[in-house]
Structure 1
Amino acid sequence: REYFKGEEDLKEVIQRWQFDEHNYLRRQLTFLKKMKLIKWFSIQKGGFEKQIVKLVKSWYD
């Protein structure tokens, strides 16, 4: 809004937007990590697909 009013330049608006997005992400992660029923998988490690399939299959056994 400030950009369109001419109160801030585009660079400042983008920087504030990125900062706000980062803060929102941190709040979401904090909230989700408190939920004990969520199972986290690291997609950076190989084999996470097999872990997910195994977990889902266990729900139906």
Structure 2
Amino acid sequence: MTVYGNHEKRPDIVLYVNGIAIGVLELKNSRGSIGDGIRQSLVNQRAEFIGAFVSTVQFIFAGND
């Protein structure tokens, strides 16, 4: 979890290999759209949020029920 100002950002699932984050999964419930997950993943990559964290990420997935 990373906190910036009043914003708290944390990925739902992170895939690590040898301690390096290579994948992030953003999961939404069945009432949410996959588009919401994609938008949230894009916002999370901004420098003011967790941009430095996702610099090593090679795969980003979004899904729902």
TM value normalised by structure 1: 0.27
- Which structure shows the higher helix fraction? 1
- Which structure shows the higher strand fraction? 2
**Greater Cα radius of gyration, structure 1 or 2:** 1
